[in-house]
Amino acid sequence: MCGIIGIYSDKNISKELYYSLYSMQHRGQESCGIAVLDGENINYKRDMGLVGEVFKEDELSKLKGNMGIGHVRYSTAGGSHMANCQPLVGSCRKRKLALAHNGNLVNANYLREMLEEEGYMFQANSDTEVILYILARYYKGDIVESLKITMDYIKGAYSLVIMGEDELVAVRDPHGFRPLKLGKKNNEYIFASEDCAIDILGGEIIRDVEPGEIVVIKDGKMKSYFYSENYKPLKKSCIFEHIYFARNDATIDNVNVYNFRVKCGEILAKDENINADIVVPVPDSGWAGAIGYSNASGLKVSEGLVKNRYVGRTFIKPTQEEREIAVKIKLNPLSTVVKGKSVVLVDDSVVRGTTSRQIIQSLREAGAKEIHLRVTSPPVQYSCYYGIDTPNRSKLIASNNSLEQMREFIGCDTIKFLDIEGMLDATEHKCTFCKACFDGDYPVKKIDKEELL
């Protein structure tokens, strides 16, 4: 999962790119990068680490330009190393290009082999390089035409920002799996994965880039194209962005993330007659759902877990061992709140079960009498091919365990998940969604070369 930003302006924008990336740090913490066009050359810096660590004041002052793009990365396709940092920067037929990508292609391996057979040499192993090479192969000066051809080749999830020598381009795949917003501030155009990156610059959110849309900013003007004349909207916005990934202050495809999360909690609590004392959210991702649960149940919310503010997202750690210790460092129970109490513990999702199992163990050690786990999303049963880092199916607790087996493994007294219908009701049906991680209904099939032979 990643965050992307692109700004077209008439003034130097490197600091704006930095602030916007900073606000989207939750979308990826492994590496980051900024590329700006100084009128002639593309200057860039990319490195492993957080935005605040990689970009110091003096680095930013070297990156001067009125147009630029940026990226924060958590690796899904391709490993976590320097060669996969973005934006990717290159030149083709004497024209410079830089590109940043959020999402995951489902046919990257196939395309990569095809390109390698043609003599292309890859420096990294992410799917983004495949996009850049296909784009470069057809780029003869008309970015829209070359993108339309590229979009015929690449399948899966991609939101892109691309910088040419005189234009900034934003692209969203025909299903619109990953978010991409368009904003404006005076003469400046801003594209970003989430609202917060535009808000913090004082910009106004104009709209979502539509699935299948190519938006070009050139000579200070915006033009919109669709990748195919026969294009039919296939809207499959990723529901997991709403459940977990995006910040509460995002609105994606007309569904406000915070309202959605609160509603999920309310729907989950409806018709439940639970004999408990307090609702405890798993911070931070369980808060909105817990508020909803509290609204509907009448039980008051209490802060039963203290969060260490200096630890990032636990799931976003490559090994199981690291994830386990990270949960312990991150959350500590408040025994004065939970001791002797019957607790409704609310979290947004259960994936492997690691987080809830550990939290429940520590809540018991802190004296909680009963723990009722309430999850404001359905059980995650299928891996995601489109950029959410869900592990292999065999590691998903819900894919090979009954509800009772999950309850036993996690160690709670009762367990309940929101069902798919309730989750969709919480969106108020303002959009259509990809929910493949819950029902296995994949809008785009994963393609490997072997399957095509």
**Residues known to be catalytic:** 2
Among 22, 158, 191, 244, binds ligand AMP (CB under 6 A): 244
Q: Is 285 annotated as a binding residue?
A: yes
**317 sits near ligand AMP (criterion: CB under 6 A):** no
Q: Which tokens belong to 108?
A: 């990257």
**434 sits near ligand AMP (criterion: CB under 6 A):** no
Give the nearest residue (CB) to ligand AMP.
315
**29 sits near ligand AMP (criterion: CB under 6 A):** no
- Output the CA angle 275-277-281, nearest 5 degrees: 110
% helix, strand, coil for the chain, step of 5: 35, 25, 40
Contacts of the segment 297-303: beta carbons below 8 A, 24+ positions apart = 297/269, 297/272, 297/344, 299/274, 299/344, 302/278, 302/337, 302/338, 303/334, 303/337
CB 301 within 8 A of CB 291: yes
Among 261, 347, 387, 436, binds ligand AMP (CB under 6 A): 347
Least distance (Å) between residue 441 CB and ligand AMP: 19
Among 46, 313, 372, 435, binds ligand AMP (CB under 6 A): 313
Give me the residues paired with residue 280 across strands: 345
CB 72 within 8 A of CB 87: no
**196 sits near ligand AMP (criterion: CB under 6 A):** no
The 10 Å Cβ neighbour count of residue 300 is 9
Which residue number, 74 or 227, has a Cβ lying nearer to ligand AMP?
74
Among 15, 185, 352, 364, binds ligand AMP (CB under 6 A): 352
54 Cβ contact partners less than 8 Å away, ≥ 6 residues apart: 31, 32, 33, 45, 46, 47, 48
**377 sits near ligand AMP (criterion: CB under 6 A):** no
Q: Which tokens belong to 252?
A: 């994606």
**350 sits near ligand AMP (criterion: CB under 6 A):** yes
Among 193, 237, 256, 349, binds ligand AMP (CB under 6 A): 349
Among 315, 382, 417, 438, binds ligand AMP (CB under 6 A): 315
User: Applying CB under 6 A, which part among 113-121, 171-179, 200-208, 352-360 lies near ligand AMP?
Assistant: 352-360
> What is the C-alpha separation between 411 and 94, in angstroms, rounded?
61
**418 sits near ligand AMP (criterion: CB under 6 A):** no
Annotated binding-site residue numbers: 238, 285, 347-348, 384, 434, 437
Residues lying near ligand AMP in the complex (CB under 6 A): 244, 282, 285, 313, 315-316, 347-355, 388-390
Annotated binding-site residue numbers for Mg(2+): 285, 347-348
